[in-house]
Amino acid sequence: MLSREPALVWFRRDLRLADNPALGAAVRRHATIVPVFIDETDGDDPWAPGAAQRVWLHGSLRALDHDLSTLGSRLIIRRGPAQAALTELVAQTSAAAVYWNRLYDPHTVDRDRGIKRALREAGRHAQSFNAGLLAEPWEIANNEGNPYRVFTPFWRRLAQQPVAEPVAAPATLPHVPCDLDSLTIEALRLRPARPWDEGIRESWEPGEAAAARRLHHFAEAGLAHYADRRDRPGVRGSSRLSPHLHFGEIGPRQIWHRVRNLGDGQAAASFLRQLGWREFAHHLLYHFPHSPEQPLDERFRSFPWAAHYQPALDAWQTGRTGVPFVDAAMRELWQTGWMHNRARMVAASWLTKNLLVPWQAGARWFWDTLVDADLANNTLGWQWVSGCGADAAPYFRIFNPVRQGQRFDPNGEYVRQWVPELAALPDSHIHSPWQAPQAVLHDAGVALGEHYPAQPYADLRDSRQRALAAFEQIKSA
């Protein structure tokens, strides 16, 4: 029999109704359920959502509130701090229980432990669940019982774990008491006062229904070609599910089983392995909570980064480095809030290795401009590229952005889309316009130094040698 005492379901980055363990537990146990979202974007979290994430969150909350209303419920919105807001809601509703799904960034882990303890001391049932990962970070360990620091053995162990089948959304939900007040989504002011976000809103559709459609389309039309196209930023070869995953509009179990049900071919294995990298990132963040700010490789604490790097960072952020593949990536990011994974690696390598800008500066920019800026993934990616993290790229691997462009954007579609001032250049010069003969530039209507930088911000060969020399300084430390 259902309890007559109400329960709160605290939504965070699990903004969906299907395969939502916290919501499912409340539905099974309570006759009255109050879905709640607490806005803490202006709180004391050092990694509060960046500007692009806030834009997405606005749309995602609207979609969630709509979905709740179709089932007879509604979303109650309050401002943080979370513990104070929950305490007030418990008192107003006489709730006997609070349910939520776990997050794994250090600030939230510590905060949630305190909230759970305070609720239980007040005589309330408080319970959290895993909705965002295939396996909890503490469930996967090496033979010595320690966390993994290399991906391949981690993936072997993870791939052996059973993955529970996803659960459908409830058919109906209880009505939320009419006298319970709520902020409007617009009152949260998640969208910017000056509308620079038009490109994001034109490029994406937040929400659980949109996530389900994107997975369906990818499974039916994209997965078969994934292994061949996933490294081509100029074509739609990736799933583009990452922001939906970040905000929990779709869960990894849903993706895992949908892909697995299509077979065990190379394309499915390649895609699921990328899901494994996401799990590895959360594994590392949980066990090494200092990693968003500090390198896992202690030697990099003394790495000789450039002392005065702001002009180089500015050129990189604005897509004016003079390297077309890098500039295309940075402009795609600014206009859409997203960047292809291959482009992320090349752009990050250029910043940290050719320009010797600290990886933390790049990570912060990605955090503010990516709609899928997950702290775990962002940290793993930047530490991997810069060479200071777990399973990191070898110090001597310095992506040549020209060769990367020639290999993965051979016809220049990506550069032409995002660096239109170079669009008329032939394929042979689209990735290195500074090497084009003057006649070729003239015919293409390109005036280097006016329309586009005349030279790369740093010479590719010289900057590579500087990076290698810097790595030599710490290699034997």
Q: Whole-model pTM?
A: 0.96
Nearest residue to 409 (alpha-carbon basis) of 436, 433, 435, 427: 427
User: Which residues, 6+ apart, have CB-to-CB distance to 262 below 8 Å?
Assistant: 219, 223, 268
Instruction: Starting at the earlier edge strand, list the strands of the sheet with 97-101.
Output: 76-79, 33-39, 7-11, 97-101, 125-129
Cα-Cα-Cα-Cα dihedral sign, residues 113, 118, 121, 125? negative
Full set of structural domains in the chain with CATH = 7-131 (3.40.50.620), 132-166+208-287 (1.25.40.80), 298-475 (1.10.579.10)
Q: In this predicted structure, what is the pLDDT of residue 61? A: 98
Q: In this predicted structure, what is the pLDDT of residue 178? A: 86
Q: In this predicted structure, what is the pLDDT of residue 264? A: 66
Q: How far is 277 from 256, CA to CA, in rounded Å?
A: 13
Q: In this predicted structure, what is the pLDDT of residue 477? A: 62
Q: In this predicted structure, what is the pLDDT of residue 267? A: 84
Q: How far is 23 from 361, CA to CA, in rounded Å?
A: 38
Q: How far is 289 from 47, CA to CA, in rounded Å?
A: 12
Please report, to the nearest 10 degrees, the dihedral formed by the alpha carbons of residues 349, 355, 360, 361 taken in order. Answer: -120
First to last CA, the chain: 64
- Cα–Cα distance list, 112 to 106, 124, 126 (Å): 10, 15, 10
Q: How far is 346 from 352, CA to CA, in rounded Å?
A: 10
Q: In this predicted structure, what is the pLDDT of residue 172? A: 96
Nearest residue to 355 (alpha-carbon basis) of 310, 394, 325, 318: 310
Q: How far is 72 from 315, CA to CA, in rounded Å?
A: 51
Nearest residue to 75 (alpha-carbon basis) of 166, 187, 193: 187
The percentage of the chain sitting over the pLDDT mark of 90, rounded to a whole number, equals 89
* β pairing state of 97-101 and 7-11: parallel
Q: Helical H runs in 299-340?
A: 310-317, 324-336
Q: In this predicted structure, what is the pLDDT of residue 390? A: 86
Q: How far is 277 from 361, CA to CA, in rounded Å?
A: 23
Parts of the chain with a pLDDT under 70: 264, 395, 476-477
Is the separation of the CB atoms in 244 and 214 below 8 Å? yes
What are residue 101's DSSP bridge partners?
129
